[in-house]
A and B are shown apart, each in its own frame.
Chain A
Amino acid sequence: MALGSSTTEGSGASSPEKTYPAVLQEELKRRLPDTDVRVINKGVGGQSAYDMLLRMDADAIEPRPSLVIWQTVVNDAIRHVGEEKLAKILRKGISKVGEAGIDLVMMDLQWLPREDRYPKYDDYRAVLKNTAAEHGVSVFPRYAMMKSWARSKQFTEQELVGMDGLHMVDASYRCLAVRLADGIASALTGAKPEMAETSKPTN
């Protein structure tokens, strides 16, 4: 169950098949041919962590998925909801999923080309990281990945985040999904994936 805001919904993707949850499903099916894998997209653009907490029961828990991938915090960071409040909201959400006995992976915020616009961006990232760590929940290190893609010059900035400078576009949604698929498949099969660190909180 992919719970999240615009990154999950697929802002900037050229079609619904190019969003990260759709690609993730294809990649998982390829890696786990004997398993019936479905990835359901529960992304709603513009939502804060609290907005998602409100629909968490209906969208992420009642359908009883095996895994919830929760992508959040960017809208809290740009709206300055307050770090203490955010930590409380995340704690509630993480506990909810945990109490339902469902595995959870949190997805880190995106890397921004010009971060000084939001001086507290790193503080909000830290809230996500620390709250997840408190509960022993893995954080998928999207920020670090995007940053290294940008540094490696494998992609132009345009390919990475699109003309809008923020939303990942097809190429990077694809990379994101492939990395996630590697991590999930390896966790399930015990096989060592090429990028073992992606399933663990590395940053």
Chain B
Amino acid sequence: MHASRFGHFLMFGRPDASVPQLVPAQRDLRIDIIRGLALLIIFINHMPGHVLAGFTPHNFGFSDAADAFVLLAGISATLAYGGLIERKGLRTGTLKILARLRTLYLAHLAVFLLVCAIVATAVTRTQNPLYFEALNVQPFFADLTQGVLRALALSYQPNFLDILPLYIVLLALLPVLYLAVRFSPALALAFSAALWQTASLTGLNLPNAAGAGWYFNPFAWQFLFCLGIVIGRMAQLGLSAPLLRGLDLLAAGFVVFALLVKTASGNPLGIAALDDWIFHIQIGADKTNLGAGRVLHVMALAWLLIRLLPRESGLLRLQALKPLAAMGRHSLEIFCAGTVLSIIGQIVLVETSHALGPQLLVAALGGIILMGLGMFLTWYQSFKRRAPAGSAPASGLPAQLS
């Protein structure tokens, strides 16, 4: 796409003055595969001290799997619900989103309860209450009356159980954000960025009884989601990325810069004014309010990926990537299963004194379970599609019984 058409799109939500035509929605395997990979990485990262967690992306750049996950959430939510709004109208789209929010909310509560049960069992069996501490569920158990109410209100988020609440808020915002992007991506992004920076500067956040605020501050993270919506909207209109060779170099340069800063032990730039900024980044403290470095980094990665890996690439159809794509396609189920498995994994790691063998076994088993679940759900989905309720096999049964 020519840069001027891209500029027109940013201002007015369409590449030229004509009424934009939607391209028929097709699955983008890149989204599925990267989402699957991000889910696998989140599973590993949620076991602190795991040997493999030393090799996951957060060690080598500003952004990590969470950033990629939220950006992709924006893209795929736009393709799914934005497409629905275009075809069936805002009301139908919003109702579908509400139904999805209900599913997400119930899934979060179920994971919360399950994780509490696992931790409580572990603490009473092993007499090691640091499991309470590791998840920060001590205040929950100490005051169950308040705890239950706060859990229901999403204002009690134990460690590692903070991504779904963020996603619930973001998806709830989708109709408004989508309409704004549809009207003018530039305007929507400007408002979104203003809110992000306001949150970052004033500390505006939703309450969390288990900490200072939501670990993923939705007022900040909505900006990344909004960027995802813009990318999703471009895909919806069949717009390709503008050919900007300069941006390729800039993106690659930034990724290398992030690698240097993140892996250095001190301030590699030697500029004293940047000491604090680098300290915060190296500690990983720029996450709650979505540090600007994270946004630039994840966008640089996304840009390079879009440029280097076209949608039609044969690489995406490699047999070895099938399980990842299957995981990405059922990200809610895999995310929930991954969270529960990683908590169990944490306990196994501690009980086996972080010996290497059990660590690798936990990672391998967890990976196999998550991939297996993804493949099963994909198969089950196509099975249901082939045999819809009320047709041959299902309807035969009641007839025989009666």
The smallest beta-carbon distance between B209 and chain A, in angstroms, is: 10
Residues of B within 8 Å of A197, CB to CB, are none
Tell me if B136 counts as interface (CB < 8 A to partner A).
Answer: yes
State which residues 91-124 of A face B: CB under 8 Å: 92, 112-114, 116-120
Query: Considering the chains assembled together, what is the distance between the CA atoms of A89 and B283 in angstroms?
Result: 9
B230 CB to nearest A CB, Å: 32
CB within 8 Å of A: which B243-260 residues: none
**B285 close to A79 (CB less than 8 A):** no
Residues of B within 8 A of A75 (CB): 133
A45 touching B283 by the CB < 8 A rule?
no
Cβ 8 A contact of A46, one of B48, B133, B283, B351? B133
Asked if A11 and B142 make an inter-chain contact with CB atoms under 8 angstroms apart, the answer reads yes
Q: Is B388 in the interface zone, CB < 8 Å from A?
A: no
Beta-carbon contacts of B277-314 to A below 8 Å, as 1s and 0s? 00100110100000000000000000000000000000
CB distance from B96 to the nearest CB of A (A): 37
Are B353 and A167 within 8 A (Cβ)?
Answer: no
Is there contact, CB below 8 Å, between A164 and B283?
A: no
Residue of B nearest to A77 (CB): B130
Q: Does B395 contact A (CB under 8 A)?
A: no
Pairs A-B, 7 closest by C-beta atoms: A164-B129, A46-B136, A80-B49, A166-B129, A165-B127, A79-B48, A80-B48
Q: Which residues of A contact B129 (CB under 8 A)?
A: 162, 164-167
- A84 proximity list for chain B (CB < 8 A): 265
Residue A88 CB within 8 A of the other chain? yes
- Alpha-carbon distance between A166 and B138 when the two chains are bound, in angstroms: 12
Contact A117 B49 (CB under 8 A): no
Q: A89-B283, A117-B128, A117-B351 are in contact. Are A166 and B133 (CB under 8 A)?
A: yes
B20 contacts A by Cβ under 8 Å:
no
In the complex with contacts A113-B127, A117-B128, A165-B127, A85-B133 CB distance below 8 A:
no
Shortest Cβ gap from A202 to chain B (Å): 25
Residues of chain A within 8 A of B283, CB atoms compared: 50, 85, 88-89
Question: A164–B123 contact, CB under 8 A?
Answer: yes
Asked whether A166 lies within 8 Å of B128 as measured between CB atoms, the reply is yes
* A165: chain B residues within 8 A (beta carbon): 123, 127-129
Contacts of A79 in B (CB 8 A): 48-49, 134
Q: Does A54 contact B (CB under 8 A)?
A: yes
Assuming the A-B contacts A79-B48, A114-B128, are A45 and B350 also in contact, with contact meaning beta carbons closer than 8 angstroms in the complex?
Answer: no
A-B contact pairs, 20 of them (CB 8 A): A6-B133, A6-B138, A45-B133, A45-B136, A45-B139, A46-B133, A46-B136, A47-B211, A50-B283, A50-B285, A54-B212, A55-B212, A78-B130, A78-B133, A92-B279, A112-B130, A114-B127, A166-B129, A167-B129, A167-B138
B350 and A118 contacting across the interface, CB-CB below 8 Å: yes
Question: With an 8 A cutoff between CB atoms, is A51 at the interface?
Answer: yes
Chain B residues with CB under 8 Å of A85's CB are: 282-283
Q: How far is the CB of B374 from chain A (nearest CB, A)?
A: 28
Number of A residues, CB within 8 Å of B: 35
Q: How far is the CA of A55 from the CA of B211 in the complex (A)?
A: 11
Please, which residues of chain A bring their CB within 8 A of the CB of B212? 51, 54-55
Interface assignment of B97: CB less than 8 Å from any CB of chain A? no
How many residues on B have C-beta within 8 angstroms of the other chain's C-beta atoms?
A: 27
Measuring CB to CB, which residues of chain A are less than 8 angstroms from any residue of chain B? 5-6, 11, 44-47, 50-51, 54-55, 74-75, 78-80, 84-85, 88-89, 92, 112-114, 116-120, 162-167
B56 at the interface (CB under 8 A from A): no
Which chain B residues border A11 with CB–CB below 8 Å? 138, 142
Across the interface, which residues of B come within 8 angstroms of A51, CB to CB?
211-212
Contact A46 B130 (CB under 8 A): no
| Partner of B159 from A46, A50, A112, A117 at Cβ < 8 Å | A46
Q: Which residues of B contact A50 (CB under 8 A)?
A: 283, 285
Cα distance, A88 to B265, chains bound together (Å): 10
Q: With A78-B130, A167-B129 given, name 13 new contacts (CB 8 A).
A: A6-B138, A46-B138, A54-B285, A55-B212, A92-B279, A114-B128, A117-B130, A117-B353, A119-B354, A162-B129, A164-B129, A165-B128, A166-B133
Inter-chain CA distance A112–B126, complex, in Å, is 13
B132 within 8 A of A: yes
Q: How far is the CA of A51 from the CA of B211 in the complex (A)?
A: 9
- Residues of chain A with a CB closer than 8 A to B123's CB: 164-165
B210 contacts partner chain A, Cβ-Cβ < 8 Å: yes
A166 touches B130 (CB 8 A): yes
Complex-state Cα separation, A139 to B123, whole angstroms: 29
Residue of B nearest to A74 (CB): B133
B 185-218 to A, binary, CB cutoff 8 A, 1 in contact else 0: 0000000000000000000000000111000000
**Residue among B128, B210, B265, B285 with max Cβ neighbours from chain A (10 Å):** B128
Docked complex: B108-130 residues within 8 A CB-CB of A? 123, 127-130
Scan residues 139-183 of chain B and give those whose CB is less than 8 A from a CB of chain A. 139, 142, 159
